[in-house]
Amino acid sequence: MDLVIQGKGKISLSKADFKASGGEGSVYCRGGTAYKLYGQTDNSGKFIVNTKKMIPAGKIQELNTLTAPNIIKPQDILLDASGTPLGYTMRALPDAIALCQTFTKAYRDRRHITPDHMLKLVQQLQAGVRHVHRQGVLIVDLNEMNFLVDTGFDQLYFIDVDSYQTPHYPATAIMDSIRDRHSTQFSQNTDWFSFGIVSFQMLVGIHPFKGKHSTLKTLDERMMANVSVLNNAVSVPGACQPFDVVPKVYRDWYTAVFERGERVAPPDGLISTVVLSPVMSYILGSDNFIVEEVGSYDGSVVTVVSSNVLTTKGVWVGKHRVRLVAPGSVFGATPAYLHPVVGWLEQNQLHLTDISRQKALDISVSADEIMATGGRIYIRQGDLLMQVALTELPTRILASAQIVGKVLGQATQLFEGVAVQDLLGATYLGLLPESGFHEVRVPELDGYRLVDAKFERGVFVCIGQNKSGRYDSLIFRFDAALEKYDVRLVEDITLAGVNFTVLDTGVVALLNDEEKLELFAKTPGSSARKVVSDKGVDGSCRLFSRGAQTLIARGGTLYTITMKKVP
Domain of 169, CATH number, reads 1.10.510.10
Q: Is 40 found in the same domain as 171? A: no
As a whole number, mean pLDDT of residues 407-432 equals: 94
The verdict on residue 520 lying in a domain is no
Domain-ending residue, one of 356, 387, 406: 406
**Listed residue (15, 10, 1) closest to 411, CA to CA:** 15
CATH code for the domain of 86: 3.30.200
**Between β-strands 25-30 and 18-21, what pairing exists: parallel, antiparallel or unpaired?**
antiparallel
Alpha carbons 47 and 3: distance in angstroms, whole number? 12
As a whole number, mean pLDDT of residues 274-282 equals: 47
Q: Is 65 found in the same domain as 36? A: yes
**Listed residue (18, 159, 151) closest to 96, CA to CA:** 151
Q: Is 234 found in the same domain as 117? A: yes
Q: Is 19 found in the same domain as 115? A: no
| Per-residue CA distances from 566 to 288, 289, 507, 563 (Å) | 9, 11, 19, 9
Sequence-distant (≥ 6) Cβ neighbours of residue 116 within 8 angstroms: 273, 274
The verdict on residue 169 lying in a domain is yes
Q: Is 127 found in the same domain as 41? A: no
What pLDDT is attached to residue 22? Answer: 72
Structural domain span for residue 81: 2-91
At residue 449, what is the residue type? R
Q: Is 255 found in the same domain as 179? A: yes
The verdict on residue 346 lying in a domain is yes
Q: Is 239 found in the same domain as 161? A: yes
Q: Is the pLDDT of residue 322 over 90?
A: no
What pLDDT is attached to residue 459? Answer: 98
Residues of the chain above pLDDT 90, percent: 75
Domain-ending residue, one of 91, 116, 133: 91
Q: Is 27 found in the same domain as 113? A: no
Q: Is 115 found in the same domain as 132? A: yes
Mean residue pLDDT of the chain comes to: 91
The verdict on residue 17 lying in a domain is yes
Q: Is 255 found in the same domain as 350? A: no
Strands (E) across 407-484 are located at 412-415, 418-423, 426-431, 438-441, 449-456, 459-465, 471-478
Q: How many domains does the chain have?
A: 3
The verdict on residue 52 lying in a domain is yes
As a whole number, mean pLDDT of residues 128-147 equals: 97
The verdict on residue 553 lying in a domain is no
The verdict on residue 290 lying in a domain is no
Q: Is the pLDDT of residue 282 over 70?
A: no
Q: Is 127 found in the same domain as 77? A: no
Q: Is the pLDDT of residue 485 over 90?
A: yes
| Per-residue CA distances from 532 to 1, 143, 510, 520, 548 (Å) | 54, 34, 10, 11, 19
Q: Is 116 found in the same domain as 60? A: no
As a whole number, mean pLDDT of residues 409-426 equals: 93
Q: Is the pLDDT of residue 440 over 50?
A: yes
The verdict on residue 490 lying in a domain is no
Domain-ending residue, one of 72, 91, 110: 91
